[in-house]
Amino acid sequence: MNKKGINSDFSLEFYLKHKREFINQALLTILSKFDNKRELISAMKYSLMANGKRLRPVLCIASAKCIAKPDEKFDDSIILPACAIEMIHTYSLIHDDLPAMDDDDLRRGKPTLHKKFSEATAILTGDALLTHAFYILSKPSLFPFKSLPSDVLLNIIGTISDAAGTNGMIEGQMLDMKAELISYQEKKSNQNIEFVEDKSSLMYLKKMHTLKTGEMIKASVEAGAIAARADKNQLNNLSCYAQNIGMAFQIADDILDIEGDSSVMGKSVGSDTANKKLTFPQLIGLDKSKKYAEELISNALEALETFGKKALPLQKIANYIIERKH
């Protein structure tokens, strides 16, 4: 079968479905180590198994596949890092939804954790998921998956904790909170800012997204690459891919808030505009935003060229990011 033949055989839908099932099963295996009757465990399960896209763990697995030998079965040894990343992503959503932060009542069509349980339980469940992510990476022998060497695991913990921490996701959320404060003050002063191509705001927006979502998407791809023992050059190419899709993902989100179908998305659209949220369409317009996202995806695909057909899942994911309907 030639390269083209393999390409046309590949179904992203099937690939994502298959990987999601694998990830969901592994998450349930990890949770099954706990007594299900405890409120903390129910709350962890409620959030973790809430039908997420699993984009980050899928990226982690697809990235490892890109480096591993073609006949190497790598999914089993990358599953703990993939699950740890999903746990950290879930904790960040729980804390972001809290009344003191974004104060959201719904997440993935279900009541947010603090609405379903309580605010205290939501804070502690977020803390628990974050802590448990590092636990499963440091005690892999307790779980029925193939393990990785200590130095590789330590490197992965370092990569993930860096991206999730003070110089990554958490600072991104700090910037997001501040942006909302600015936006609130603008609303209070009754200025009607419809469309401003403001370079300093654009820089702020890019920085915020790079930190808030970009760093963890990059860490997901890097964790897979590190697990599969990527060399420096391979790691750089995959990081470049990840940085580009991370930003494109956010722009696509902003566009969906304007053009999306709320029945497909399972949430209301137009809320960014209503809340005068800092978005790409608001700052550079809808057309320019779309072009920018396409440019980023093109950069991402270029960074994958060196990997040949092994990068097919990552290529398809890149396209899916700007073509998705939710």
186 binds its own copies (CB under 8 A): no
49 binds its own copies (CB under 8 A): no
Binding mask 9-48 for its own copies (x = CB under 8 A): -------------------------x---xxxx--x----
In the complex, the smallest distance separating the C-beta of residue 295 from its own copies, rounded to whole angstroms, is 31
SS3 110: strand
Cα distance between residue 95 and residue 58, in whole Å: 23
User: Of residues 112, 121, 243, 250, which one binds its own copies by CB under 8 A?
Assistant: 121
106 binds its own copies (CB under 8 A): no
Q: Considering beta carbons, is residue 25 or 118 the nearer one to its own copies? A: 118
- Residue 244 is encoded by which pair of tokens? 């580009």
Q: Considering beta carbons, is residue 156 or 252 the nearer one to its own copies? A: 156
User: Of residues 15, 134, 204, 292, which one binds its own copies by CB under 8 A?
Assistant: 134
**Would you say 122 and 113 are in contact if contact means Cβ atoms under 8 Å apart?**
yes
Cβ-Cβ contacts under 8 Å for 270 (sequence gap 6 or more) = 257, 258
Give the distance, in angstroms, between the CA of residue 103 and the centroid of all CA atoms in the same chain.
Answer: 20
Q: Considering beta carbons, is residue 172 or 260 the nearer one to its own copies? A: 172
**Would you say 17 and 59 are in contact if contact means Cβ atoms under 8 Å apart?**
no
124 binds its own copies (CB under 8 A): yes
Task: For the chain, state the CA radius of gyration.
Answer: 20
DSSP letter assigned to residue 108: T
Site for its own copies, residues 153 to 182, rule: CB under 8 A: 153-155, 157-158, 161-162, 164-167, 170-171, 173-174, 177
Instruction: Say if residue 27 is exposed, middle or buried (CB neighbours under 10 Å; 0-12, 13-18, 19+).
Output: buried
User: Of residues 25, 32, 51, 131, which one binds its own copies by CB under 8 A?
Assistant: 131
Cβ-Cβ contacts under 8 Å for 167 (sequence gap 6 or more) = 211, 215
Cβ-Cβ contacts under 8 Å for 315 (sequence gap 6 or more) = 301, 304
Residue 278: C-alpha distances to residues 202, 205, 245 (Å)? 9, 7, 20
The string of DSSP letters for 139-157 reads -GGGSSS----HHHHHHHH
243 binds its own copies (CB under 8 A): no
In the complex, the smallest distance separating the C-beta of residue 36 from its own copies, rounded to whole angstroms, is 12
Of 54-62, 133-141, 215-223, 253-261, the window that binds its own copies (rule: CB under 8 A) is 133-141
In the complex, the smallest distance separating the C-beta of residue 87 from its own copies, rounded to whole angstroms, is 11
In the complex, the smallest distance separating the C-beta of residue 26 from its own copies, rounded to whole angstroms, is 17
Q: What residue ranges bind its own copies (CB under 8 A)?
A: 34, 38-41, 44, 91, 95, 98, 100-101, 118-121, 123-124, 126-128, 130-132, 134-135, 137-139, 150-151, 153-155, 157-158, 161-162, 164-167, 170-171, 173-174, 177
